[in-house]
Chain A
Amino acid sequence: MIFLNINNLNVSIDGKKIIDNFNLNINQGEIHAIMGPNGSGKSTLANVLAGNEDYEIISGKIIFKDHNLLDLNIEERAKLGIFLAFQYPVEIPGVNITPFLHASLNSKLKNQKKEEIDSLSFAKLLRKKAEELSISSDMLKRSINTGFSGGEKKRYEILQMSVLNPEFTIFDETDSGLDVDALKIVTEGINKFKNKNNSYLIITHYQKLLDYIKPDFVHVMRNGKIVKSGNISLASEIEKSGYKNF
């Protein structure tokens, strides 16, 4: 099975090319990191993988679990096992966290022809996972991201990941804007729910996160393409002297 293969991908928005002949292969169980200066197209890549319809795919191919990903819409991709932890999670007042996530999980289970989970068992499951992330049960009664602090929003993204157990998760700057304590909670959360069968793409500016999570590969992205690939030592190089050498 091909797990994830991005082949010669070209993407533009409003006529401006943002992803330029992009290639990447990720196997099951691998952790990849992408680093790159602001504006290099990292979030665009993440959104294209998740199925955001604002972008124009000029050419290229993405295979995920032997499916032609570009043929699937946003929710079909999610049900197939793609999860994007957003750089800026949106606040949705009035849509309560618990029933929303319950519906998400059930739509996924249904898609896998598995039995759906009832509200009571789901509430239990959610509380347990929330506890592991130091999310209070009060927060589970609130509306999606509404009035959450930066750290809470990111923790809530991790919570959703842990409940939905996606095979491929993209973290888009999940570490940005967090203080040391919040970063610790989030990285510990990721480590706790990380498992060998699943794959991860971590978009970040900082080595710190990668020290905790230990990627198998690190890529440097500039102007919409990968300009260098290597291991964790690439991250230290960037930490020391920035992106000017790439």
Chain B
Amino acid sequence: MNFQENFNNHLKQYIFSNDNYLLKERQKIFNKINLNKFDKKNNESLKNISISDLSSFNYFYQPSKEKPTLEISEKNVYQINLVNGKCPDYKDENIEIRNILIKDIELFKSNNQKDTNDIVADLNLVFLNSGILIDVNQKSKIKICLNYKAEKDFTIFQHNFFNFFKNSEVIIEENFYLTENTINNIYYNINIEENSKIKHNIFQDFASSNKLLLTSNTTCAKKSSFSQNSYNFSKGFVRNFHNAKLNGVFSKASLKGCFLLKDDNVCSNKTHITHNAENCESDQKYKGILNNISKANYYSNTFVSKNAQKTEGYQLSKGILLSDKCSFFSKPELRIFADDVKCSHGSTIGPVDENSLYYLRSRGINKKQAMKMIISSFIKDDLIDLDKKNIDRINKNLTQYLSTI
């Protein structure tokens, strides 16, 4: 199906398709994209993406027999099992969970009229068919596991809203159980109120016929902190585009990710942090290991507005290239309009360090084993904060990956 057909034929299947305001917005965005013909020039959102995947996919979404569920197996641990972007409704003293309503999207759209030049995010609204809203109440200390299930051939365009009210402490863990031939375009609005501490761990390890495209926009109020880690061990395409705005003084945001790529796999990464207030800290770091003919890109951006004095902002990209034919394109950007700031960016991409290999081998470790030691250390560097189950899971993926080098 071509883009126009997808748009026309499936208009009926959208949620909120009877809403005039949204229909107009969708039409507007659709026309803009259609007019630009997915021009890759100067558009970071199209880097390393095959245009046919965005335009001429087979849109498919329908009600499912399987029902989403919620489990609270341990106190304050919420396991939410989504099915095709739908969640169960639930409410207690800590949390409210529900599917999104038209007013959520309308409110979002009226607050976000600026064109971001992000085609994937635009498509999310054009084809929107699901989404969940989670409110975490003040002072709640909880863990939320979001388990996304996508049924075969589904194309899911989902918009999630997470609101963390004052003084909350939340670990939010996301897992993707994608079956076969699915497209998952998920857009997040994450709002973190004063003094809240949020950890966001995203595990991506699914089969090659699936695609996952994530876009998140997080705002941090005074003294809040947001720490996001994405772990991409997928055989299929993954996009990680994550943005954070530090709007309140003494807030912190860290957007990090790592990926293991092989064969002809591709991933596209971007982080963007805006400092709008004084005394804030930010960290952006993506690192990856690439083999065969795999490809990755990482755009990182720090924007420091005029009033954001005493900013600290760090950007880093690291890559190990295991073959001559893989590539990792990295582009850091810094725009600073305040004068009292500490910012830096760095990038080290290349083959496994020869001197390190020599050193390990000179102690009797064989070359392959030495490579494995260096590569695992590269990934494990950042795993300090995870629980044992997730460390085991990462080790398993790593071992699997290393067995083929």
Contact = CB atoms under 8 A, between A and B. Distances in A.
Interface residues of A, number: 31
A92 B361 CA distance: 13
A98 B359 CA distance: 15
B362 A74 contact: yes
A104 B364 contact: yes
A22 interface: no
Contacts of A42: none
A58 interface: no
A74 B361 CA distance: 6
A75 B356 contact: no
Contacts of B165: none
A107 interface: yes
Contact of B365 (A50, A52, A75, A94): A75
Interface of A: 50-52, 54, 73-75, 78-79, 83-84, 86, 89-90, 92-96, 100-101, 103-105, 107-108, 111, 143-144, 160, 164
Given A93-B381, A94-B378, A100 B373 contact: yes
A79 B356 contact: no
B366 A107 contact: yes
27 contacts: A51-B361, A51-B362, A73-B367, A78-B361, A78-B362, A78-B363, A79-B364, A83-B363, A84-B362, A86-B359, A89-B359, A90-B358, A92-B359, A92-B360, A94-B380, A95-B356, A95-B373, A95-B377, A100-B360, A100-B373, A101-B363, A103-B369, A103-B373, A105-B364, A107-B364, A144-B359, A164-B364
Nearest to B381: A94
Say what secondary structure dominates the interface of chain B: helix
Nearest to A96: B377
A191 B137 CA distance: 66
Contacts of B378: 94
B355 interface: yes
A160 B363 contact: yes
A65 B365 CA distance: 20
B374 interface: yes
A103 B376 CA distance: 15
Contact of A92 (B362, B369, B377): B377
Contacts of A52: 358
Nearest 10 pairs of A and B residues by beta carbon? A94-B377, A78-B364, A74-B361, A104-B363, A107-B364, A90-B355, A95-B377, A75-B361, A92-B356, A90-B359
Contacts of B359: 86, 89-90, 92, 144
A75 B374 contact: no
Contacts of A50: 362
B356 A100 contact: no
Contacts of A105: 364
A103 B365 CA distance: 7
B371 to A, nearest CB: 11
Contacts of B360: 92, 95, 100
Nearest to A109: B364
Contacts of A100: 360, 363, 365, 373
A74 B366 CA distance: 8
B34 to A, nearest CB: 48
A74 B358 contact: yes
B374 A92 contact: yes
B242 to A, nearest CB: 24
Contacts of A75: 361-362, 364-367, 370
A92 B363 CA distance: 14
A192 B256 CA distance: 47
A50 B358 CA distance: 9
A193 to B, nearest CB: 16
The residue among A92, A104, A108 with the most chain B CB atoms within 10 A of its own CB is A92
Interface in B338-395: 353-356, 358-367, 369-370, 373-374, 376-378, 380-381
A107 B381 contact: no
A108 B364 contact: yes
A196 to B, nearest CB: 23
Given A73-B361, A78-B363, A83-B362, 18 more contacts: A73-B367, A74-B358, A75-B362, A78-B361, A78-B364, A79-B364, A83-B363, A84-B362, A86-B359, A92-B374, A93-B381, A94-B378, A94-B381, A95-B356, A95-B373, A96-B377, A100-B363, A107-B365
